[in-house]
Structure 1
Amino acid sequence: MEADGNPTDADDISRAISDINAAAQRLQARLRAHRSHEEGLKAASDRLAAQEQQLAQKQKDLQALQESVNEQ
């Protein structure tokens, strides 16, 4: 601080660095939240794909059963 109470260039630079660090921390938190959300979506997508495969298999099984019944 200068004698007249005004901040020095060093004070301004220090404040700017603090502001930049705080902004970087906020961005990192947002990025972590985004990644967590992406991981959740990926897990949901994987579960859906597995359910689709199970459904396709059940449809094949039902079709085979229907054909078997029709042959009798």
Structure 2
Amino acid sequence: MTTENKELSFEEAMSQLESVVEKLEQGDVPLEKAISMFQEGMALSKQCHEKLEQVEKQMDQILHEDGEIELLDFQEDE
């Protein structure tokens, strides 16, 4: 369930984060494992946050203040 070195989609990262949270909420995880899972959850949370920020920036570029929509090609940025 490690997220290092693998770029997950937003949906994949959220799903894994939800799984980590569910397991931690059960409360029957040994302390060392819980710490490791917490760190993994924080990394997943950061990844989700960064993806949401990226989408927000794209939306700001698409929708101008005057409400006019501009179509942009985001494939060039990747």
TM-score when scaled to structure 2?
Answer: 0.46
Higher relative contact order (CA 8 A, sep 6+): 2
TM-score when scaled to structure 1?
Answer: 0.49
Higher helix share: 1
If you compute each CA radius of gyration, which structure gives the higher value, 1 or 2? 1
